[in-house]
Structure 1
């Protein structure tokens, strides 16, 4: 892999309640493509650490949209340098956006950024940590496995060892007012349809197995359009060619084989934060998994914090459902009370 990058110029100097922040352009090469992002630095002091923000699912607009500014500012206030970038094909990053980018590919991307930070000897580079949300719960442990010098990890709304869609579907159907009988029927149809799809079953068989599910308004909301045989077969061919692994008992996809063993190897301090109204990931399962793995490692110093009225993005909410979250996505929503304080106090006590 050829790896080049440049810290080009100072873009912004912010004055806020967090203090002055100097923001520079951060660029690095991954798989032959230049990815562009931001490096935030405290003014008037040398950073004690560099923290990388590892994003969750979906497209990004980090540079133009100045995404995660409140989070980044909080880290800079603590004396940290903060690095974040746009995914391939997003913002001004080169390449094509792949909605199905594997977690291993995303982890390799993070490792490329770390190599760049070290090669440029950015202040704080001897003490690199990770903050990651949602699917980053799979990405960050892979990074730590390949780069055991990671000093700490903040896992926000982290994933357990299997795919989360079954939980997402069931929880949101309940929020949408379906009866328990209806939920059981619709989830079982999804499971059956998923099984047919991944094993190469015919489109007609899939249609028959999911006839009630496909008529449900929440399912229609998720999928936007009706599936055609052509699109079904195209997606199926691609999916099967990727040789995914599945849990025999539940039929759920496994994104990181031997994930429990991967977590057991983590020896850095870990702060795990969850919203108790998270309708995307099964936060209770993740907490149990972390306790059974990371929690048994003395050096890991696992700390867990939950917030009663917070959603997947750690924003205050009424239901935590996907519809509510999407409807509020274009509005500024302050983080849940105490969320930033929890991270700050943890840093001061455990890391700094």
Structure 2
């Protein structure tokens, strides 16, 4: 049990699947796609170049939240551009969404999502879909955990475009702290709240009483924005139960020891270091959902040090979590957005990288 009861679990992935819907042109052939995974049939779409031939295939890996690919037509701008380049793309709805079987779980374990990717890739090869002899992944946000797991299981998946990837631990602490100024907190109050969060978790983890925790977190617990995001604070019974569980787990507890955030993929650093894949990582410098600087450094220290892999990273100025131009990058602004504009070079950089790294051999 996490030290904070999180109702939204993580907002790292809010709007992560959002894309402008446009009609696909005659460079793309679209058809239905189904495959079996974990005892259920998932349904999606395959887009192939108009010629019917393809030099590679890209699987789209969703971020957090629900999906409806036939109505929302996500990633359409990219799907069309990739088709023009001679690349097939595949995207499907999560279990219980769209025409996919199963029950939707907004907190679906990342290992389960990764298994979907592995099973889909296997099915695409077995059925001889155009481009399936060279499969890669395009993933956003939460896919920063899913993609490495899938890549580690399927060595035939050879390239990865990571957009606003994931830190080692959950992003909730970063998201809350970085959005405080957008919610009316002064720099001084935001600094106090941050310090109280860290101190409160130290007290909680070290066996401190609820009274000690409460006394150390007065400003944090009174902040209206924090309350709206996490809900009610613990009563004494829940506090002590969660504390016993955490202390009993010791070093094996899947939480960051400093800020208490959940770790979805243990040993992510080692996993990334061992991936022999070509990777393009894209970030926005106004991302208030994930700590993009931390992710940039993580990739540089892992994938970037592997002589059997290649890594190119780019940060778009003025772009938010979904690489859309933004004034603040705050959740409030993203929710109110009526239209979106991508920064210059967003599409072209991906196309150029695919030509030079994926399609050139």
Question: TM-score, normalized by length of structure 2?
Answer: 0.82
Contact 2:28 2:80 in 1 (8 A): yes
Q: Distance in 2 between matches of 1:297 and 1:54?
A: 24
Contact 1:54 1:133 in 2 (8 A): yes
Residue 111 of structure 1 corresponds to: 118
Residue 175 of structure 1 corresponds to: 182
Residue 300 of structure 2 corresponds to: 291
Superposed CA deviations along residues 295-333 of structure 1, whole A, max 9, x for unmatched, are: 1122321101110110000111000011101111xx331
Residue 173 of structure 2 corresponds to: 166
Aligned with residue 58 of structure 2, among 21, 29, 51? 51
Contact 1:200 1:236 in 2 (8 A): no
Q: SS at 1:152's partner residue?
A: strand
Q: SS at 1:302's partner residue?
A: strand
Report how many aligned residue pairs link the two structures.
333
Aligned with residue 256 of structure 1, among 245, 250, 265? 265
Structure 1 position 98 matched with structure 2 position 105 = yes
Mapping 1:59-208, distance limit 5 Å: 59-191=66-198
Q: Distance in 2 between matches of 1:300 and 1:272?
A: 13
Greater shift in the superposed pair: 170-179 or 268-277: 170-179
Q: CA deviation at 1:150?
A: 1.2
Q: CA deviation at 1:175?
A: 3.5
The structure-2 alpha-carbon separation of the partners of 1:21 and 1:208, relative to structure 1 and needing over 3 Å to count, comes to farther
Long gaps (5+) in structure 2: 1-21
Question: TM-score, normalized by length of structure 1?
Answer: 0.84
Mapping 1:189-338, distance limit 5 Å: 189-191=196-198, 210-223=217-230, 226=232, 245-328=254-337, 331-338=338-345
Q: Distance in 1 between matches of 2:111 and 2:204?
A: 24
Superposed CA deviations along residues 171-229 of structure 1, whole A, max 9, x for unmatched, are: 11133342333113223444466678889999888766655334423224434x54686
Contact 2:142 2:165 in 1 (8 A): yes
Q: Distance in 2 between matches of 1:163 and 1:195?
A: 17
- RMSD (Å) for aligned C-alpha atoms: 3.0
Long gaps (5+) in structure 1: 1-12
Q: Distance in 1 between matches of 2:224 and 2:305?
A: 44
